[in-house]
């Protein structure tokens, strides 16, 4: 089991978008992170489809966060990029084979699925407890506040 690598890109982009209140084109985000702009576009489209960022077209268009960074959780981003479905899928293996449990007796999910889903819920809860604003704050604390303002200047300015 390996998580889609695009999740990392999307999270970093969300943190960067915190610094700019004007639309930022995808090409600029790609250059900033030194990744393929074509592929990054796909992740941003997923974020836009989920309503986390808003896309504006035209000459000075780009992407902007729709909500305040404090109200965007990591779970929102992960669900948008990686898909909302559960990682563990129960194929109802107990209803097959010579000792199959009759279908009408399966009122509750099988114990295996229950345990796995409980663990997934713990994971989601941990993700939902962290917001993009928290991450931006951590970046400020570790790299210094001048990092984000420098990036902001570079984003708004046209310099390459």
The least CB distance from residue 51 to a second copy, in Å, is 21
- Those residues whose C-beta lies under 8 Å from the C-beta of residue 111, and which sit 6 or more positions away, are none
In the region spanning residues 117 to 136, those forming contacts with DNA, defined by CB under 7 A, are none
Q: Which of DNA, a second copy, none does residue 138 bind (CB under 5 to 8 Å by kind)?
A: a second copy
Report the relative pairing of strands 53-56 and 62-65 from DSSP bridges. antiparallel
Q: Of the candidates 34, 59, 97, 99, which one interacts with DNA according to CB under 7 A? A: 59
* Nearest CB to DNA, comparing residues 52 and 74: 52
User: Which residue ranges make up the site for a second copy (CB under 8 A)?
Assistant: 1-5, 7-9, 11-12, 15, 31-35, 74, 82-83, 85, 87-91, 93-94, 96-101, 105, 108, 111-116, 118-120, 122-127, 130, 134-135, 138-139, 142-143, 147, 150-151, 154
**DSSP-assigned letter for residue 50:** T
Q: Are 158 and 23 in contact (CB under 8 A)?
A: no
Distance CA 54, CA 66 (A): 6
Q: How many residues bind DNA (CB under 7 A)?
A: 28
Q: Of the candidates 22, 38, 95, 125, which one interacts with DNA according to CB under 7 A? A: 38
Contact between 58 and DNA (CB under 7 A)?
Answer: yes
Distance CA 94, CA 119 (A): 21
- Those residues whose C-beta lies under 8 Å from the C-beta of residue 108, and which sit 6 or more positions away, are 114
Looking at 54-62, 65-73, 95-103, 140-148, which segment touches DNA (CB under 7 A)?
54-62
**DSSP-assigned letter for residue 20:** -
Q: What angle do CA 3, 91, 46 make, to 5 degrees?
A: 35
The least CB distance from residue 105 to a second copy, in Å, is 7
């Amino acid at each position: 089991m390996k998580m889609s690598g695009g999740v990392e890109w999307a999270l970093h982009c969300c943190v960067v978008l915190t610094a700019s209140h004007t639309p930022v084109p995808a090409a600029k985000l790609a250059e900033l992170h030194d990744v393929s702009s074509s592929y990054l576009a796909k992740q941003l489209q997923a974020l836009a489809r989920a309503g986390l960022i808003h896309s504006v077209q035209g000459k000075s268009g780009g992407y902007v966060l729709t909500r305040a960074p404090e109200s965007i959780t990591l779970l929102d981003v992960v669900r948008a990029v990686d898909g909302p479905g559960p990682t563990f899928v129960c194929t109802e293996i107990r209803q097959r084979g010579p000792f199959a449990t009759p279908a009408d007796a399966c009122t509750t999910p099988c114990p295996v699925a229950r345990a796995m889903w409980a663990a997934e819920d713990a994971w989601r809860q941990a993700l939902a407890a962290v917001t993009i604003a928290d991450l931006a704050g951590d970046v400020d604390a570790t790299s210094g506040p001048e990092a984000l303002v420098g990036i902001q200047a570079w984003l708004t300015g046209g310099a390459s």
